[in-house]
């Protein structure tokens, strides 16, 4: 099996478990209701993982969500380690992903343009 396939598979599994943790386990008031994990990228040696997080809301909510997840990183790592059996449980860093918002904005622009042309 190719190493890229393996890290991709592990990244997807971590993404699934991380989403579940955020939804059901982490109770932080800084964490808004609409938080989703858009992607997880694990390094080849499985020591580090970047989690891309999408937050619906203003800049304060986005900043608060990243702070909440960063402060829970140790707990998240521990829980992921219990749920997935891999040699190393990666250290997490959380990055804001605004691609969903950009997509919604572009969709709105397209709808407005089509509406004007009809």
pLDDT tens column, 9-30: 999 999 999 999 999 999 999 9
- Percent with pLDDT over 70 in the chain: 97
Confidence band of 89 (pLDDT split at 50, 70, 90): very high
Q: How many domains does the chain have?
A: 1
User: Over 70: is that where the pLDDT of 118 sits?
Assistant: no
- Is the model more confident about 10 or about 102? 10
Residues 6+ apart with CB under 8 A from 34: 55, 56, 57
Residue 92: domain span? 3-117
The CATH number assigned to the domain holding 50 equals: 3.30.300.20
Long-range CB contacts (within 8 A, 24+) of 15-18? 15/39, 15/40, 15/51, 17/79, 17/80, 17/83, 17/84, 18/51, 18/76, 18/80
Q: How confident is the model at residue 82 (pLDDT cuts 50, 70, 90)?
A: very high
- H/E element, 48: strand 48-55
Quote the pTM value.
Answer: 0.82
Checking if the pLDDT of 94 tops 70, the result is yes
Say if CB 53 and CB 40 are below 8 A apart: no
Please check the confidence at residue 1 and state whether its pLDDT lies above 60. no
CA-CA distance, 78 to 89, in Å (whole number)? 8
């Amino acid at each position: 099996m190719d190493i890229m396939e393996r890290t991709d598979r592990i990244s997807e599994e971590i993404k699934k478990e991380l989403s579940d943790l955020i939804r059901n386990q982490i109770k932080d008031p800084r964490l808004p209701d609409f938080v989703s994990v858009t992607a997880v990228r694990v390094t080849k040696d499985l020591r580090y993982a970047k989690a891309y997080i999408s937050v619906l809301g203003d800049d304060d909510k986005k900043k608060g969500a990243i702070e909440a997840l960063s402060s829970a990183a140790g707990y998240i790592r521990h829980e992921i380690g219990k749920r997935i059996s891999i040699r190393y449980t990666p250290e997490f860093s959380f990055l804001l992903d605004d691609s969903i918002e950009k997509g919604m904005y572009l969709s709105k622009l397209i709808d407005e343009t089509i509406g004007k042309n009809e």
